[in-house]
Amino acid sequence: MCFGAMLSKILKPIENELLLVESIIAQNLFTRAGNIDKFIRLKNISYTSRVIRPALTILPARLFGCKDDKVLVLASIFQFIYMALKVQQNVAEEGRDLTAEQDNSKDGFQFPVLVGDYLYGKFFYFLSRAGLLSFLEPLAELIYSLHEGSLMEKNIGGKNIPSYTVYEAVRKETAEIFAGCCRLGARMAGASPADQHYLGCYGQNFGMAFGLLERRYNADKIAFYLNQAVKSLYFVPEKEEKRILEQIVRVFLNRAKRSAACTAT
């Protein structure tokens, strides 16, 4: 069974919610100029990258009994933020977008920037429309962190950069959004500050492992962060959602082990 299929099986209990989030996003990828896919191929986003952030928002909210539709809006907001960052990261240094259909340098530069701005605009629109403006400050801080991490990532390139810099880039660009998904999902459900903290730690550690795994960087550290993520759940309620969060981490741990074994051979 492929990795995406294994993850899909684990997320089966929230499959309907994830489909609704995808529907919200799909319905908002149309502009007067047409579908955004005409300008940049967002369909290339993998299944894992399409569902992992929404899942990490929905599961903590459900863990504390919240099934309000606003949770789906918040999950969509996190995905819009992620997509906006990825679109703008695809602008090459010389001003060409490597995923654009056209090979016109002017269009290749302008469209991904405009599409990224459009997706950020959707974040503000949904935040206001759903009455979630109390989440504006932590989300604004998150966006700042993501872009700072992205800039650090650009500077790393293929250079011989100290490991601390790599970890810091991963923390800002990946771990912070995972932590935000978990923490704000729990906050929306009225979880205690302590429970929000534990789930935020889960997301932070999982995000560090996810980011390092994407970069195939230091298998031992990946395993360390994944094990720390499981430990962070020790004090949260014993419910199905906690079990799913643990299973998600364990399937990534197995993937990391296989990746390390392939590298060793």
Closest CA to 194 of 237, 230, 226: 237
Looking at residue 198, its pLDDT comes to: 97
Confidence of residue 183 (pLDDT cuts 50, 70, 90): very high
Looking at residue 54, its pLDDT comes to: 97
Place of tokens 């700042």: 144
Closest CA to 53 of 223, 193, 220, 173: 173
- Judged against a pLDDT cut of 70, whether residue 40 lies above it is answered with no
- Judged against a pLDDT cut of 90, whether residue 230 lies above it is answered with yes
Q: Give the residue with greater pLDDT, 82 vs 88.
A: 82
Cα(87)–Cα(89) distance, rounded to whole angstroms? 5
Looking at residue 91, its pLDDT comes to: 59
Measured in Å, how far apart are the chain's first and last C-alpha atoms? 22
Cβ atoms within 10 Å of 33's Cβ, excluding its own:
11
Looking at residue 238, its pLDDT comes to: 94
Confidence of residue 158 (pLDDT cuts 50, 70, 90): low
Cα(178)–Cα(59) distance, rounded to whole angstroms? 12
Q: Give the residue with greater pLDDT, 155 vs 232.
A: 232
- Judged against a pLDDT cut of 50, whether residue 96 lies above it is answered with no
Looking at residue 103, its pLDDT comes to: 46
Whole-structure pTM value = 0.86
Domains of the chain: 3-264 (1.10.600.10)
Percent pLDDT > 90 in the chain is 47
Confidence of residue 185 (pLDDT cuts 50, 70, 90): very high
108-141 tens-digit pLDDT: 556 666 776 777 777 788 888 888 888 989 998 9
